[in-house]
Chains A and B, each alone.
Chain A
């Protein structure tokens, strides 16, 4: 049966997240070597802002759906009752305020609550996909997951980093013992550190015992990042492994094309003007680190040392090129799977965990890089057994 879909977006303009995601439901996307037209009909759209280049009216006209002034009306498609089988909340891009932690205050929580209010009023709930993190605020994010569990509707959220191609096609064995993990990334906070942390979490959640929650976090900046290396708080071996997977070293590579041992040569420290390290201590003792290495690299790469093996495992999360950004097709395939099966293939608790420790790291940074205990980050979950990244 065709899934009727409501799209709730901040902005709908060319190359915004809403355009990437909603368009794939309108015109299809490549999946496992064929162009797939999902059995989904977009029936309604709510769009919060209309910047220059707004495409919402054009799309509504071409594809025959309505634009509604409120989220509730979009979910009811202008009628009296809930009129959709799925909701896509894409609250990324657009002009919103930034708080003292540097977080953009996208109204994901508020919009989700409006959906929940409709579901409660109707006594019926439908699957929801929430793009990127759940909320900038952990308490709000937690309430989103709790509401979905309370009303028993499938909720999926997150980044496309966990579902894109990997170079090489690395998947950790379910139940493996991870001694230490590290991810490297680049870009600004909090959009891009969030993506890198989702990459980290989708790998380490497969460890023995599943996700246990976070005991403490600390975010370091500048020279303190390298001091932490000297103190053994993150692993040089894992950084070398992650760097070895990159295709975008800066500096001398840009100058004359040469390959570089960025770490061994010391160029890394020279190139990165303001490194940041997100140190995350999990409750089961696992130590994981995100290093944001702006001006030295421009890839997202993962490395981990597994019990019983000397050589680390590592891969690049392959973010394919614009404008196609095929990684969004990988994510839409998973969203479509949720709509078709009524089951979220990727746990929302992954994104809850990441939303929580990212916010805690930003608070640590705001307080001068102190270590913060995180008793509130107690949510546990088990990783799915099967793989959900692009590999077919």
Chain B
């Protein structure tokens, strides 16, 4: 592509700390990258904003960046008053905003609906553009699968997911390619149908590098309340990996007054935390557990036992999270940098199949929790794909 790519931004909201603000702002304002203030070599030429709550920044951004035209519909943002597709890339950011919740308490963010409007333009014009979908594909599995299938059918570059796979790691390590993993775990925090997705992505971006590549997930079950502690006590998942995750955390709640950092025993964990575990098995037999350890940690930590290794491999996927400790959510910088590469080259830097799988895990987790933790067979999640051999997390 000889000219600068033209990008349409389709967002639910554009206010401080909404994902729309974090991501689109980086395209407009630039961001710190490799020792420079980097300005993406592309132009956001159109913006569709679905909701304009108090604190909405749309007017300010459109005024300061007049090349970005505010559009009333998604189709207009893609066509820019022409009969043609007028952009080379689309940012679909449907996180945050006032949307209904269904009977399963899923937040009905309109990712699928927005995506279909984008695809309608692609079909009508006979042209396509690269699409980045922030976070999971859809709260509804069938719709998520349809989004994926349409990207294959219409043959356009499609990337999605969380910033967890691409942010800093402490230590700065990747899963060795073709590792033989015996068990994997993520200990994170946050809510169901929300940050659980980040936990699944944290785990998935590491285990997908195992020997044989990704094979998909055969079943998933969940543990909350007393059932969690009983399973924890029984050793249903590895205590060694769990402890390794807590030892990678920077936010371990002190179990005793007057101490700033002390390792909690199980009784203390029980007093402090309100956990939920999502335990699942991959088609090649790999057991994995993603635990939301609310109350005890406020970060995402990964650990795995590898064949032949004496100690677990472990790291923290570090999020510089405003507003308490930092002012700028710079974990969006490596995500935007990866999106830029897709917009420039037409090739996603990591596979959307990862996010298709984690999207399905989120939905299966919601269903299992509603059925008292029942193990759900997940034949629809037997999704296989090869991991990219290059590391895509932030290490430079």
Contact = CB atoms under 8 A, between A and B. Distances in A.
Nearest to A169: B172
A27 B263 contact: yes
Given A250-B327, A259-B30, A33 B314 contact: yes
A250 B21 CA distance: 17
Chain B CB within 10 Å, residue with most, of A240, A241, A324, A392: A324
The B interface is mostly helix, strand or loop, or mixed, namely: loop
B195 interface: no
B35 A23 contact: no
B285 interface: no
A244 B31 CA distance: 7
B154 interface: no
Interface string A354-371: 000000000000000000
B328 A249 contact: yes
Contacts of B261: 23-24, 27, 29-30, 323-326, 329
B25 A168 contact: no
Interface in B33-47: 33-38
B37 A263 contact: yes
A23 B244 contact: no
Contacts of A29: 261
Contacts of A58: 258
B30 A35 contact: no
Contact of B250 (A35, A312, A326): A326
Interface stretch (A13-21, A43-51, A100-108, A197-205): A13-21
A249 to B, nearest CB: 6
B244 A244 contact: no
Given A30-B248, A167-B168, A258-B25, A246 B259 contact: no
B260 A312 contact: no
Interface string A31-46: 1111100000000000
A307 interface: no
Interface of A: 14-15, 19-20, 23-24, 27-35, 55, 58, 165, 167-169, 240-241, 243-250, 253-261, 263-264, 298, 303, 311-314, 318, 320-326, 329, 390-392
Given A245-B32, A259-B32, 12 more contacts: A29-B261, A30-B263, A31-B247, A33-B244, A33-B248, A169-B171, A247-B320, A261-B30, A314-B35, A318-B318, A320-B250, A323-B254
12 contacts: A14-B258, A32-B311, A33-B303, A55-B258, A243-B37, A245-B32, A245-B35, A256-B16, A259-B25, A259-B26, A259-B328, A321-B250
